[in-house]
């Protein structure tokens, strides 16, 4: 079965275009849109997502899942991307809450937005271009890279055709999976910095050292701290040393 697919040369962002299509009644479940260049790409917490031509900027409408599954959706998508990159002979990890890393460098990210029980995932992958450190949050950002730097020669549309099928498979398997603990362990196995020392920064700019202990069932990050284990749902982490 084929699902609606849209392609644009230039727009505000793939997410904005996806929501516009949804509001027009033209973006059913599993519809997707890919844009060549974004003027106002956004990442986690509304941060700017630099969007030069040559990379993948896509959005996909997901099926409405029970609310219990929503917090794990970014990690399921990261798992799908991990499978695709593995098939391309490239290892990857996800950095909580939504970054995709290759060799501890950021190669992409996942952004989930929900409005009135409608879920749309934004997926960005650096295929042939990556921002330099001076354009990032220097003290907190991991360095960026792109697939071409590792010898992976693929076009954004070729990559998207692989990713969308794998995401569909991962979501469907999850929807029928009754073992949440088994799923959680599998997702943790692809988690960057698991068991390692990091610095965690909260939404109100407080920072503290911690060791990454894993994921909670509802998508939080488990951290071992001087005050015991904590589960947090908002914030960012970065390693102590690169």
Q: What is the pLDDT of residues 62-88, one digit of tens each?
A: 987 654 555 788 888 999 999 999 999
Report the alpha-carbon distance of residue 82 to residue 217 in Å, rounded.
20
CB atoms within 10 A of CB 206: 9
Q: Where are the alpha helices (DSSP H) in the chain?
A: 14-23, 73-87, 156-175, 180-188
Phi-psi region of 195 (alpha: psi -120 to 50; beta: other; left: phi over 0): left
Asked whether the beta carbons of 95 and 101 are under 8 A apart, the reply is yes
Q: DSSP per residue over 96-145, as a string?
A: TTTEEEETTEEEEEEEEEEETTEEEEEEEE-SS----GGGS-TTTPPPB-
pLDDT of residue 31: 97
pLDDT of residue 44: 55
pLDDT of residue 20: 95
Q: What is the pLDDT of residues 127-146, one digit of tens each?
A: 998 876 544 454 556 889 99
pLDDT of residue 134: 47
Consecutive 10-residue averages of pLDDT for the chain (242 residues)? 88 91 96 88 55 87 68 87 93 93 94 90 92 55 89 95 92 71 85 95 89 92 95 89 56
pLDDT of residue 229: 96
Asked whether the beta carbons of 75 and 192 are under 8 A apart, the reply is no
Does this model's pTM top 0.85? yes
Q: Where do the domains of the chain lie, and which CATH numbers do they carry?
A: 5-188 (3.30.930.10), 197-239 (2.30.30)
pLDDT of residue 5: 95
If we measure between CA atoms, which residue out of 186, 161, 7 comes closest to residue 84? 161
pLDDT of residue 67: 47
């Amino acid at each position: 079965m084929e699902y609606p697919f849209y392609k644009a040369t230039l727009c505000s962002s793939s997410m904005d275009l996806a929501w516009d299509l949804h509001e027009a009644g033209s973006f059913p479940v599993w519809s997707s849109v890919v844009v060549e260049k974004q003027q106002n790409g956004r990442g986690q917490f509304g941060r700017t997502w630099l969007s030069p031509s040559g990379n993948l900027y896509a959005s996909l409408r997901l099926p409405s899942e029970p609310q219990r599954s929503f917090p794990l959706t970014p990690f399921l998508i990261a798992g799908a991307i991990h499978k695709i990159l593995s098939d391309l002979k490239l290892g990857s990890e996800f950095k909580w809450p939504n970054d995709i890393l290759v060799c501890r460098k950021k190669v992409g990210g996942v952004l989930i937005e929900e409005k009135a029980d409608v879920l749309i995932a934004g997926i960005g992958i650096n295929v042939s271009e990556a921002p330099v450190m001076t354009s990032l949050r220097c003290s907190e950002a991991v360095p960026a890279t792109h697939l071409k730097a590792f010898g992976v020669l693929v076009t954004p549309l070729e990559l998207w055709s692989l990713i969308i099928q794998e995401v569909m498979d991962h979501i469907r398997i999850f929807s029928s999976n009754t073992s949440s603990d088994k799923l959680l362990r599998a997702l943790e196995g692809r988690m960057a910095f698991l068991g390692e020392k990091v610095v965690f920064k909260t939404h109100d700019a407080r920072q503290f050292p911690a060791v990454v202990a894993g994921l909670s069932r509802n998508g939080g990050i488990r951290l071992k701290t001087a005050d015991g284990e904590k589960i947090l749902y908002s914030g960012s982490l970065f390693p102590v040393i690169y």
